[in-house]
Every structure is written in C-alpha cells, then in structure tokens.
Amino acid sequence: MKHQFGSLEVITGSMFCGKTEELIRRLRRATIAKQKVQVFKPIIDKRYAMGKVTSHSGNEFQAIPVSNSAEIMELLEKDTTVVGIDEAQFFDDGIVELIDQLADGGLRVIVTGLDMNFRGEPFGCMPTIIAKAEHVDKLNAICMVCGESACRTQRLVNGKPAHYDDPIVIVGASEMYEARCRHCHEVPRD
C-alpha cells in the first residue's frame, strides 16, 4: 500500500536507549499493515547478525548491509513503501540527500542513529537528518553509574573513559560502551 505522502521519522539517543527496538516495532507494524518494507544497515556494524538489525535485547528484523548510501538506492525495490535505515551516523554524507529523495518520492523513511558521539558532540549527519524530519523521538537509557536518565554514550578503554583524541568510530557494544547521564559522562582531554 502506497503512502499518500512521504515522511521522515528519526529515532535517536544514546546507546542502550532502545533505538533499534523501536525501529523493529515500527517495521513489524508496517509489515502487519501489508506494506512493503526494506531495511538497510551499515556494513561496518558487525555486532550481531550481518543480514539483520538486532536490538541489544535480541529482537531482530531482516536487513541489507550496505557500504554506502548510494547502494541503498541501487538495492531499493520498486514496490517498497517503508524504508528503515539503522545506525545512520555511520553513513557517508550522501545519506541526507538519499533520505530526502526517498521521502519526497512518497516513501515512509524511518532512521535510527546516535545523536552524539562518545565525546558528547553531534555525530556525523545526524543533526541534519533530525532537522529535516517530520517526527523525532529522542530516547533515554539509564545511567550505568547513578541510575538517572542517560542521554550520552560513554566509551571505555580498559574500564576507564576514552580520551577525547581517541577515534570517533569504533563499533562495539556493552564491552566498550555504557549509557551515562550528563553528570557522570567523562571525556578526559589530557
């Protein structure tokens, strides 16, 4: 079933806040409504199954791993009406134009991604994607230090906060990252 108008929905927040869980929930509902769904994820995200988006709680949905945004358009099937894009912060800048093109073409586009990197700074193209969206849900996790609401992702190296000058992109899960609140989030600069 084709949508009357295209749209962009963004699900964002820190790691462990339930972004992929919410994406999967929305995709399943679209499937129940007999809408044609395709999901794409960056090929560098190898934390779980390659051909699936998988939440930290183990829920999964079929996905196509791609190495860049142009591949999404090449692999998009003609009858698709809902496009899911997981971990958008890992894509090249072309993802923004692609998302606009899909939504302008009448597709429902649902995007997940970290809004901030481990430094607590805007992550890649996510600020632009968020600004262009009709609907944005920013989810929070629970701070692993104090138990308050967490909006940041803490990278750990040997159990200690990663240094500011460490590389921005290192794909990992609970062995390398924790959800933290603003107060407990640390990024040493020296």
The answer to whether 176 touches 12, Cβ cutoff 8 Å, is no
| Catalytic option among 74, 87, 121, 178 | 87
Point out which residues pair with 35 in neighbouring strands.
Answer: none
Q: Which tokens belong to 154? A: 């803490």
Point out which residues pair with 52 in neighbouring strands.
Answer: 62
Query: Kindly report the CA angle at 177 between 175 and 179, in degrees rounded to 5?
Result: 130
87 annotated active-site = yes
Active site residues: 87
